[in-house]
Structure 1
């Protein structure tokens, strides 16, 4: 019987900000070569030419496809290559083999060969990536606005008596902010003048951030409605919640193969914790915690004014379930419903009235 010579190769890439390290192994696990490329479009082309000289590339295993490896991942996907997302090597493996870029790249390739790494990276080329950019800008603006308001309150409390007595009778947040933004400190020759100058600067900053946030909200509402109009029609689904779900799925929802996998990404599925005669499950503390919090918000809204959910809560309470246990079950139902809107083929019926 003739021996079959392996011709396919697996490529592993350890990504960094300035350079990427790549390693090639054969389909039977033999180490072939390693190289280092600059982390730019020219380097990506060099890598593609390098691996092309070794044979048919079966898959690229890339670390950090959502950060340093995002550019390389997009480059390879656009050219039709099979790209797999690889997690960092576990601690035990690093203790055994040491740590270097070449070792990490080879470990990434072997993870793909062994079937340990199977996840598909987000494409990052569509409207969901636009939503992600705008949401980052909005979230940072909200954080800065909150800090500005906290600082204003602290300065008012410690301001000179004459200024504090003028501001104490003012009622309403926006009225106070406009009053502060219109202060005239004059020459900075006293603590009263410096306090007025500080309050005016921070109040104007707050108003500017508030206008920026409203602009981001308008853009997010438009993009989210265009991308997932049916999802926004679901009970308890606001724009921010829908945006979180879209960020979880990405621009290529086909990478999530089942609603169970979607629930696991949300951290809304139980984890087996059995041993010997003990058969039990524990809470899933992993997954995307922002998406998990979004599921929680939807459940809380539905527990107030959604009749199918209210009926479910009443039935499960009669069975002896606690409120927290019921919420966990409802989060799983909501995850299944959202999967139908975002990932499943449009043959599913509307589950908003069929499930809690």
Structure 2
């Protein structure tokens, strides 16, 4: 980085953000607090105009800092995404005993950006962002559907002898409710509440169908072929692409595997060589890879052959499944890179 470039660290909050500008040596030269409103971007860029050679570093550009990071990127500013875990470590290692304040947090963000060369560059939102939003919305709908089903199960258990079997659906619940003949006011109220929940369940089911259709369109617009991999449907493909984003930020398949939590962690000590399970990484991606691995281990195909080979090597089913997940991480990484390169070539 050129010595004249100023790094501006931003600690975002819901109602305010604090910015600290540091020089190439990491020394703070100016700081300012901004209230978050319609004029925040203009005020921030006006203040930053004092340093023509500048770049911004935003803590959590995929979370609380998404708004200001996207606004800065949209007006052509160079913006880096600093994970909160890195800025916390930088603050704890700094002088001052790790005391926390907004200016100290913003300073830590800037210093992390100054010395780390592997931070993600924030780009304008694209189809991957749309897929992530749709995936997160589907998760919310699925959780709401589970809550409604649990409530409906409880009422049906009190209305129908023996209750309702597992795997309850709107059609099955409606058929059971048609057999209910309440004999008391309390039972009549339970039936009415069950009907309301049934209407809610049908509404959620329709929204889930609409969400899947939107995800399918977004996948087509992104030019993804992930669904060609056995075990990867529209829902999982949307989740994977939404959380991965620009796959080029992972220089190798090994780095991608570390991000997905499928690469075992080295826990060697002295002459003892061992690895332990990685419980970190992006757990949404890890869960998606687990689902794919279960499907491939069960059904005929290359994944099943690989899984069975691990079993013959005296691996436990869980260990064989984890090995398959690690291999699937490589497969998905290469497929996403190939798709993005093809789309970029077609757009050129």
Q: TM-score, normalised by structure 2?
A: 0.85
8 Å Cα contact 1:268/1:335 also seen in 2: yes
Give the Cα separation in 1 of the matches to 2:65 and 2:140.
24
Structure 2 equivalent of residue 269 of structure 1: 263
Structure 2 equivalent of residue 7 of structure 1: 4
1:191 maps to which of 177, 186, 206: 186
Structure 2 equivalent of residue 352 of structure 1: none
Deviation at 1:109, TM superposition (A): 0.7
Question: Is the partner of 1:248 in helix, strand or coil?
Answer: helix
Structure 2 equivalent of residue 42 of structure 1: 39
Deviation at 1:49, TM superposition (A): 2.2
Structure 2 equivalent of residue 133 of structure 1: 133
2:50 maps to which of 48, 53, 56: 53
Deviation at 1:22, TM superposition (A): 0.4
Q: TM-score, normalised by structure 1?
A: 0.83
Max Rg structure:
1
Structure 2 equivalent of residue 288 of structure 1: 282
2:215 maps to which of 210, 215, 220: 220
8 Å Cα contact 2:11/2:59 also seen in 1: yes
Structure 2 equivalent of residue 68 of structure 1: 64
8 Å Cα contact 2:20/2:31 also seen in 1: yes
Q: CA 1:273–1:193 in 2, change beyond 3 Å: closer, same or farther? A: same
Question: Is the partner of 1:66 in helix, strand or coil?
Answer: coil
1:308 aligns with 2:305: no
Q: CA 1:283–1:121 in 2, change beyond 3 Å: closer, same or farther? A: farther
Specify every segment of 5 or more residues in structure 1 that has no aligned partner in the other structure, as ranges.
Answer: 349-356
Give the Cα separation in 1 of the matches to 2:179 and 2:48.
66
Instruction: After TM superposition, list the pairs within 5 Å mapping 1:90-169 onto structure 2.
Output: 90=89, 92-93=92-93, 96-115=97-116, 118-120=118-120, 123=123, 125-159=125-159, 164=160
8 Å Cα contact 2:223/2:339 also seen in 1: no
Deviation at 1:31, TM superposition (A): 1.5
Deviation at 1:257, TM superposition (A): 2.2
Structure 2 equivalent of residue 317 of structure 1: 311
Q: What is the count of residue pairs matched by the alignment?
A: 335
Question: Is the partner of 1:96 in helix, strand or coil?
Answer: coil
Instruction: After TM superposition, list the pairs within 5 Å mapping 1:75-86 onto structure 2.
Output: 75-86=71-82
Give the Cα separation in 1 of the matches to 2:190 and 2:341.
63
Structure 1 equivalent of residue 83 of structure 2: 87
Question: Is the partner of 1:237 in helix, strand or coil?
Answer: coil
Moved segments of 4+, more than 6 Å: 166-169, 180-186, 345-348
Structure 1 equivalent of residue 346 of structure 2: none
C-alpha RMSD over aligned residues: 3.1
Q: CA 1:106–1:199 in 2, change beyond 3 Å: closer, same or farther? A: same
Cα deviation digits, residues 106-150 of structure 1 (max 9, x gap): 1111111122x7321564622222222222322222222222222
